[in-house]
Amino acid sequence: MESLQVIKQRFGIIGNDTHLNLALEKAMRVAPTDISVLVTGESGVGKESIPKIIHALSHRKHAKYIAINCGAIPEGTIDSELFGHEKGAFTGATSTRNGYFEVADGGTIFLDEVGELPLTTQVRLLRVLENGEFIKVGSSKVQKTDVRIVTATNLKMHEAIEKGKFREDLYYRLSTIEIDLPPLRTRDEDIHLLFRKFAADFAQKYQMPTIRLTDNAVNLLMSYNFPGNIRQLRNIAEQISVVEENRSIDTEKLSKYLPNYRSRNLPSVIADSNEKNDFAHEREIMYKILFDMRKDIKNLENLTRDLIKGNNVQLSEEHQHLIDKIYKEDKLENIENEVQVVYPEENYQQENQNYDFAETVVEDESLSLQDKEFEMIKKSLERNKGKRKLAAQELGISERTLYRKIKQYDL
């Protein structure tokens, strides 16, 4: 069997990432068998390389290899494309046509984006996997085929199965061996290697000097998330190669080709700081609630004083002292400044002792933070017609925090 390095050179695979190497080694081990293989991974990670390796290292390597993008074939014609049709089977069928499973007999068929197959086609495919039989569209004759099927998808198949979009029995027949390719953002050391390879290829293609990245630009490139994975990196290298006159690319130039690079958070950053972010968001909503409370309490104080004056109510010495203290020292005026720092819990409780009088005079008035928070979230959801994303933006909290609050308050 050929070595891993030879396979990489033969199929133009660049990188030394551990997960990538494991995926390639698994493909090499299963290639001599006829086991069905499902290749998974995000769009643009290079899933099409795995079935080529499997076919080339199998005993079927001298037979046909056919790659089919299931998502690119209209639902009405995909059965005809895969299994063929008889003359007159449908409008436009002017002659008999052999499908891919008949043409590739003895070889390998790669079904890319297999999760996009219609349910009726999934039933036909399951029959091929079980006993190698298929029937052409418009025919009643059962035909035999001997093909190895390799499939790929970027969908979460278990979710598709739960939603009834993919047959569970077919999934288990296709995924006897599952090979998962890692996203580019987890292959830090490979990103610059790939970029240099693409830059050299495009320099040769367009007959111009090769572009080079400064050290800072390399760091920026490696920190980018690359939602489009290798395909996106290749496109960026081609754009820069064609557009930029200066062949030395710094961070300022490179950033123009990285969409939303300033606002994009890497997965590792999110994972490491979820708790801190949640605390910051909750603290922010707490500040908003306190500002609203300040206004409400001021109004309540004025109303209470007017009621006392109008009805000649006699206050206890303790209550009169509290009112004088609030008005003279105006502790409430300090809330706006004080809440800009993180309050220790004991200090926060001590500050809130000033509000005991308001709670005593008006027993039905709820000044708890939870009630205010509940009211703000409810009103925001109503204004945004139940759309959590918009409500979270308005409240200044994360969707995750809002979702937790919705469950907490049973909204």
Q: What is the CATH number of the domain that holds 213?
A: 1.10.8.60
| 176 lies in the same domain as 204 | no
Contact criterion met (CB below 8 Å) for 219 and 261: no
378 within some domain: no
Angstrom distance (rounded) from CA 89 to CA 64: 27
Distances (CA, A) of 247 to 191, 203, 208, 275, 405: 19, 10, 9, 43, 52
Residue in the structure block whose two tokens are 């007159």: 88
| 225 lies in the same domain as 353 | no
Query: How sure is the predictor about 288, in pLDDT bands with cuts at 50, 70 and 90?
Result: low
Half-sphere exposure for 237 (CA within 13 Å, toward CB): 29
Express each pLDDT in 299-351 by its tens digit: 666 666 666 665 555 555 555 655 555 554 444 444 444 444 444 444 444 44
The total number of structural domains that make up the chain: 3
In this structure, of 9-13, 49-53, 263-267, the range with the lowest mean pLDDT score is 263-267
| 57 lies in the same domain as 92 | yes
pLDDT at 262: 52
| 242 lies in the same domain as 295 | no
Last residue within a domain, chosen from 346, 367, 388: 367
36 within some domain: yes
Query: How sure is the predictor about 223, in pLDDT bands with cuts at 50, 70 and 90?
Result: very high
Contact criterion met (CB below 8 Å) for 277 and 195: no
pLDDT at 316: 56
394 within some domain: no
Distance, C-alpha 48 to centroid of its chain = 21
Last residue within a domain, chosen from 211, 234, 255: 255
Q: What is the dihedral of CA 204, 207, 209, 212, to 10 degrees?
A: -50
Angstrom distance (rounded) from CA 195 to CA 178: 28
| 49 lies in the same domain as 170 | yes
Nearest of 59, 154, 165 to residue 121 by alpha carbon: 165
Percent of the chain scoring above 70 in pLDDT: 73
Half-sphere exposure for 100 (CA within 13 Å, toward CB): 21
Angstrom distance (rounded) from CA 335 to CA 104: 76
169 within some domain: yes
The vertex-180 CA angle with 177 and 184, nearest 5°, equals 165
Please enumerate in sequence order all residues whose Cβ is within 8 A of that of 18, keeping only pairs 6 or more positions apart, or say none: none
For 221, counting Cβ atoms within 10 Å of its Cβ (0-12 exposed, 13-18 middle, 19+ buried), the class is buried
Residue in the structure block whose two tokens are 């709670």: 359
pLDDT at 411: 75
Token duo for residue 160: 């598709």
| 275 lies in the same domain as 301 | yes
**Containing domain of residue 83, as a range?**
4-182
b vs e for 129-148, b when ≥16 Cβ sit within 10 Å of the residue's Cβ?
A: eeeeebbbbebeeebebebb
| 247 lies in the same domain as 208 | yes
Please enumerate in sequence order all residues whose Cβ is within 8 A of that of 163, keeping only pairs 6 or more positions apart, or say none: none
pLDDT at 341: 42
| 25 lies in the same domain as 152 | yes
Angstrom distance (rounded) from CA 69 to CA 114: 8
Token duo for residue 99: 């499908």
377 within some domain: no
Last residue within a domain, chosen from 255, 277, 309: 255
| 160 lies in the same domain as 83 | yes
Q: When comparing pLDDT for 86 and 396, which is higher? A: 86
376 within some domain: no
pLDDT at 276: 47
404 within some domain: no
Contact criterion met (CB below 8 Å) for 388 and 406: yes
What would the mean pLDDT of 365-389 be, rounded to a whole number?
74
395 within some domain: no
Token duo for residue 360: 């005593």
Express each pLDDT in 380-405 by its tens digit: 888 888 888 888 888 778 777 887 77
| 15 lies in the same domain as 35 | yes
| 137 lies in the same domain as 279 | no
Express each pLDDT in 190-207 by its tens digit: 999 999 999 999 999 999
pLDDT at 260: 75
The vertex-336 CA angle with 334 and 340, nearest 5°, equals 110
Q: What is the CATH number of the domain that holds 132?
A: 3.40.50.300
| 194 lies in the same domain as 170 | no
Angstrom distance (rounded) from CA 368 to CA 181: 51
